[in-house]
Structure 1
Amino acid sequence: MVNRCEIFCEILIAILLPPLGVCLRHGCCTVEFWLCVLLTILGYVPGIIYALYAIVFVDRDQYFDEYRRPLYYSA
């Protein structure tokens, strides 16, 4: 379970650099990350919106395995 401080820091990072916030949450070689990169290239605001969605609403524990490991994992 992720605590509130981690989510708050990820949201702040996602507002400044949307792909970095998604990378910290889901990992660098995931569909969520590359979709966020694409949306950020197409427009900064869509990248922020998707990053916030990916951080707050997408459950990473459901998709977590050894091949899609995020940068950190709090057990």
Structure 2
Amino acid sequence: MAFTGSDICKILLAILLPPLGVFFERGCGADFLINILLTCLGYIPGIIHALYIILKY
């Protein structure tokens, strides 16, 4: 699987601000809301979810 420049930018955003990385990948939907909730509960679960979403799609 080849990464593009935008994928690398999204991964960096996912590490710094997880909901922003998910928003750029999937838009404002259920994944975005789940990531906001996970980030509020703990920063690491938010990062893991964001990376999962970015790498899956």
- TM-score relative to the length of structure 1: 0.70
Alignment partner, residue 14 of structure 1: 14
C-alpha RMSD over aligned residues? 0.9
Q: Which runs of 5+ in 1 are unaligned?
A: 60-75
Structure 1 segments of 4+ aligned residues over 3 angstroms from their partners = none
What is the percent sequence identity of the aligned residues? 53
- TM-score relative to the length of structure 2: 0.91
Aligned residues: 55
Alignment partner, residue 41 of structure 1: 40
Alignment partner, residue 72 of structure 1: none
Structure whose alpha-carbon radius of gyration is higher: 1
Q: Which runs of 5+ in 2 are unaligned?
A: none
**Partner Cα distance (1:16, 1:40) in 2:** 11
Are 1:4 and 2:4 an aligned pair? Answer: yes
